[in-house]
């Protein structure tokens, strides 16, 4: 087998054979296929697609590139959630302890932010002392003791995806449904969860901009999970507007703690509860009541134990940025749009995200929203507050926000998009 014939097959719009797929994934993981060859193949896949059987084989080859975890020693059913990524998407933070408080074990292997979408690990690392990297034994220990763990995937899990994802990120080949579906599902299947709820984001702040593409991605992933014996369900959820009132690491931790304390923005609470219900159903715990676990403080108890178990101090003050800058409403009326992508780019430029894998992020940087679409605003009132340690970035962030919002006449009718747009099982 040689890599050039594999690239030519896909370049010429033909199916890759099982042998070609197994060989190329193995050879790339071992370093026998070069990055430039794999990036040519990834681009051919992005342009010419793969059918369901090719995607299934590609996913299986990525799972087989590394180890598989085993949670069978736990005395609770396992349930995991994965979001395809969005702006202000802090849902994992309240969700994992909430579902654990309702009786499931939640092994949440999470990632870092790259580009305009935030990463769960970056957010949690703003808590003083908290550690993302755990050995497999430590991970099982935290999961067994507290019911939930949020940590980085170990190097042994789907190593082919680790290499390929980093390569796609710098070669414009992220937004390919076969590659996204196989990337996410290889990690989740190798992780060994019994059930999985996918939060497939749709809208300007998501990888999938249209409902049709999101449906295609969701049904591909649900099919892959089901074929591997993982009970898998997907919710398609709105990402045209940022979730909640914050985008940025410590800012989002603060908002998540508000949700766990029984408050927080309505959209974050609604989506957290919707995903919790799906996870509990998929885990075989249909009678659990997540709204009660939020209200009675049991989810907050699990949060505190989970943070402490990973070296963090849940009571420590969170970092704040050195400088802030207010963006005011240009006129009075109804805020009718607040673009998720633009807010994500602004938060990233302020220092909340990284441009290259090796960059560090600012814990306090980000964007705070003072109004959401549908709210009435008065000319001159604060609409957004920008937070950063590097104030020379304010102008650069404001540039990203130039067309981010519209304020219409006070009597303009407005109907908000529902948060949950569809469910695919
Ligand atoms: N998240 C992943 O893990 N992989 C992708 O390809 C896209 C989002």
Q: With respect to residue 365, please indicate whether it lies within any of the assigned structural domains.
A: yes
How many of the other CB atoms lie within 10 Å of CB of 317? 8
Residue 357 predicted with pLDDT over 80:
no
Measured between alpha carbons, how far is 218 from 222 in angstroms, rounded to an integer?
6
- Ligand 1 atom having least distance to the Cα of 174: 6
Among protein residues, the one with the nearest Cα to ligand 1's atom 5 is 180
- Ligand 1 atom having least distance to the Cα of 85: 8
User: Which of 239, 116, 248 shows the shortest CA–CA distance to 169?
Assistant: 116
**Please, which residues bridge with residue 385 across strands?**
326, 368
| 183 and 258 within one domain | yes
Q: With respect to residue 355, please indicate whether it lies within any of the assigned structural domains.
A: yes
The SS3 call for residue 197 is: strand
Q: With respect to residue 317, please indicate whether it lies within any of the assigned structural domains.
A: no
Residue 112 predicted with pLDDT over 90:
no
- Centre of ligand 1 to C-alpha 42, Å, is 14
- Mean pLDDT across the stretch 409-422? 92
Annotation marks residue 183 as catalytic: yes
| 140 and 267 within one domain | yes
Q: With respect to residue 419, please indicate whether it lies within any of the assigned structural domains.
A: no
The SS3 call for residue 146 is: helix
Concatenating the DSSP letter of every residue in 61-128 gives HHHHTS-----TTSSS-BEEEEE---SS--THHHHHHHHHHTT-BEEEEE---BTTB--HHHHHTTST
Among protein residues, the one with the nearest Cα to ligand 1's atom 8 is 84
Q: With respect to residue 171, please indicate whether it lies within any of the assigned structural domains.
A: yes
CATH number at residue 126: 3.40.1030.10
Measured between alpha carbons, how far is 269 from 315 in angstroms, rounded to an integer?
22
- Is the ipTM reported for this complex over the cut 0.95? yes
CB-CB contact of 313 with 129 (8 Å): yes
Residues with CB under 6 A from ligand 1: 84-85, 165, 174, 179-180, 183-184
Q: With respect to residue 218, please indicate whether it lies within any of the assigned structural domains.
A: yes
| 371 and 245 within one domain | no
Q: Each residue of 63-111: pLDDT tens digit?
A: 999 999 999 899 999 999 999 989 999 999 999 999 999 999 999 998 8
Q: With respect to residue 100, please indicate whether it lies within any of the assigned structural domains.
A: yes
pTM of the predicted structure, to 2 decimals: 0.94
Q: Work out the angle between the directed axes of helices 249-260 and 298-309 (0-180°, nearest 10).
A: 140
Helix runs in 283-415, H state only: 290-295, 298-309, 340-347, 394-400
Residue 389 predicted with pLDDT over 90:
yes
| 171 and 32 within one domain | no
- Mean pLDDT across the stretch 383-411? 96
Measured between alpha carbons, how far is 210 from 203 in angstroms, rounded to an integer?
6
Start-to-end CA span in the chain (Å): 38
Catalytic residue among 83, 182, 183, 204: 183
Tell me how many domains the chain contains: 3
CATH number at residue 19: 1.20.970.10
- Predicted confidence at residue 416, as pLDDT, reads 86
- Mean pLDDT across the stretch 376-395? 97
Measured between alpha carbons, how far is 253 from 248 in angstroms, rounded to an integer?
9
Catalytic residue among 187, 215, 228, 231: 187
| 268 and 205 within one domain | yes
- Predicted confidence at residue 99, as pLDDT, reads 98
Q: Which percentage of the chain shows pLDDT scores above 70?
A: 99
| 221 and 283 within one domain | yes
- Predicted confidence at residue 166, as pLDDT, reads 85
Annotation marks residue 168 as catalytic: yes
| 235 and 88 within one domain | yes
Residue 163 predicted with pLDDT over 70:
yes
Query: Nearest 5°: CA angle at 156, between 84 and 143?
Result: 70
- Centre of ligand 1 to C-alpha 326, Å, is 33
- Predicted confidence at residue 209, as pLDDT, reads 93
Residue 128 predicted with pLDDT over 70:
yes
- Centre of ligand 1 to C-alpha 165, Å, is 7
Pair of tokens at residue 168 = 């796609």
C-alpha distances (whole Å) from 362 to each of 55, 141, 354, 394 are: 37, 30, 9, 14
Burial of 227 by CB count in 10 Å (0-12 exposed, 13-18 middle, 19+ buried)? middle
- Predicted confidence at residue 364, as pLDDT, reads 98
CB-CB contact of 118 with 353 (8 Å): yes
How many of the other CB atoms lie within 10 Å of CB of 134? 20
- Mean pLDDT across the stretch 202-209? 93
| 399 and 287 within one domain | no
- Residue 207: pLDDT band (50, 70, 90) is confident
Q: Which percentage of the chain shows pLDDT scores above 90?
A: 89
The SS3 call for residue 308 is: helix
Domain containing 334: what range?
Answer: 323-408
| 337 and 230 within one domain | no
- Predicted confidence at residue 114, as pLDDT, reads 66
- Predicted confidence at residue 204, as pLDDT, reads 95
Residue 403 predicted with pLDDT over 90:
yes
| 35 and 110 within one domain | no
Pocket perturbation via mutation, ligand 1, pick of 45, 111, 205 by most ligand atoms within 8 A of CB: 111
Among protein residues, the one with the nearest Cα to ligand 1's atom 3 is 184
Residue 169 predicted with pLDDT over 90:
no
Residue 196 predicted with pLDDT over 80:
yes
| 348 and 231 within one domain | no
CATH number at residue 399: 3.90.1170.30
- Centre of ligand 1 to C-alpha 179, Å, is 8
- Predicted confidence at residue 226, as pLDDT, reads 96
Catalytic residue among 82, 116, 188, 393: 82
- Ligand 1 atom having least distance to the Cα of 84: 8
Pocket perturbation via mutation, ligand 1, pick of 207, 213, 239 by most ligand atoms within 8 A of CB: 207
- Centre of ligand 1 to C-alpha 230, Å, is 18
The SS3 call for residue 201 is: strand
Query: Tokens 């469910």 map to which residue?
Result: 423
Catalytic residue among 80, 122, 161, 267: 161
How many of the other CB atoms lie within 10 Å of CB of 355? 10
Average pLDDT of the chain is: 95
Q: With respect to residue 417, please indicate whether it lies within any of the assigned structural domains.
A: no
- Ligand 1 atom having least distance to the Cα of 168: 6
- Predicted confidence at residue 411, as pLDDT, reads 86
Annotation marks residue 161 as catalytic: yes
Burial of 14 by CB count in 10 Å (0-12 exposed, 13-18 middle, 19+ buried)? exposed
| 397 and 357 within one domain | yes
Q: What DSSP character marks residue 147?
A: S
- Predicted confidence at residue 206, as pLDDT, reads 93
Q: What DSSP character marks residue 208?
A: B
- Centre of ligand 1 to C-alpha 410, Å, is 41
Among protein residues, the one with the nearest Cα to ligand 1's atom 2 is 184
Strand ranges for 223-307 from DSSP E: 231-238, 246-248
- Residue 354: pLDDT band (50, 70, 90) is confident
- Mean pLDDT across the stretch 170-191? 93
C-alpha distances (whole Å) from 170 to each of 34, 159, 214 are: 15, 18, 23
């Amino acid at each position: 087998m040689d890599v050039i014939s594999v690239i030519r097959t896909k370049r010429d719009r033909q199916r890759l054979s099982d042998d070609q797929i197994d060989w190329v994934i193995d050879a790339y993981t071992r370093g026998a296929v070069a990055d430039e060859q794999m990036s040519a193949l990834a681009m051919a896949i992005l342009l010419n697609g793969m059918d369901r059987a090719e995607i299934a084989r590609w996913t299986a080859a990525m799972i087989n590139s590394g180890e598989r975890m085993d949670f069978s020693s736990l005395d609770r059913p396992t349930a995991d959630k994965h979001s395809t990524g969005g702006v202000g998407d802090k849902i994992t933070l309240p969700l994992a302890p909430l579902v654990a408080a309702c009786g499931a074990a939640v092994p949440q292997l999470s990632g870092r932010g790259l580009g305009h979408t935030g990463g769960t690990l970056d957010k949690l690392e703003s808590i003083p002392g908290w550690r993302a990297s755990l050995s497999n034994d430590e991970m099982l220990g935290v999961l067994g003791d507290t019911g939930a763990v949020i940590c980085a995937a170990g190097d042994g899990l789907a190593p082919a995806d680790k290499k390929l994802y980093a390569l796609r990120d710098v070669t414009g080949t992220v937004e390919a449904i076969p590659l996204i579906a196989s990337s996410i599902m290889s990690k989740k299947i190798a992780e060994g969860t019994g059930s999985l709820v996918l939060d497939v984001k749709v809208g300007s702040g998501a990888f999938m901009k249209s409902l049709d593409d999101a449906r295609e991605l969701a049904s591909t992933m649900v099919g892959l999970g089901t074929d591997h014996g993982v009970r898998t369900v997907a919710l398609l959820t709105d990402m045209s507007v940022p979730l909640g009132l914050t985008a940025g690491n410590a800012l989002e931790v603060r908002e998540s703690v508000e949700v766990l304390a029984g408050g927080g923005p309505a959209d974050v609470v609604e989506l957290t509860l919707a995903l919790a219900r799906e996870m509990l159903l998929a885990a075989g715990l249909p009678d659990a009541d997540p709204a009660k676990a939020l209200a009675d403080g049991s989810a907050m108890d699990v949060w505190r134990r989970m943070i402490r178990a990973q070296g963090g101090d849940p009571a420590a003050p969170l970092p704040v940025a050195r400088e802030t800058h207010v963006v005011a409403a240009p006129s009075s009326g109804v805020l009718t749009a607040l673009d998720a992508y633009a807010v994500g780019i602004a938060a990233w430029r302020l220092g909340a995200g990284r441009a290259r894998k090796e960059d560090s992020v600012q814990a306090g940087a980000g964007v705070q929203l003072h109004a959401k679409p549908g709210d009435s605003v008065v000319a001159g009132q604060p609409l957004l507050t920008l937070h950063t340690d590097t104030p020379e970035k304010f102008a650069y962030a404001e540039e990203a926000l130039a067309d981010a919002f519209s304020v219409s006449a006070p009597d303009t009718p407005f109907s908000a998009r529902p948060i949950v747009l569809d469910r695919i099982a």
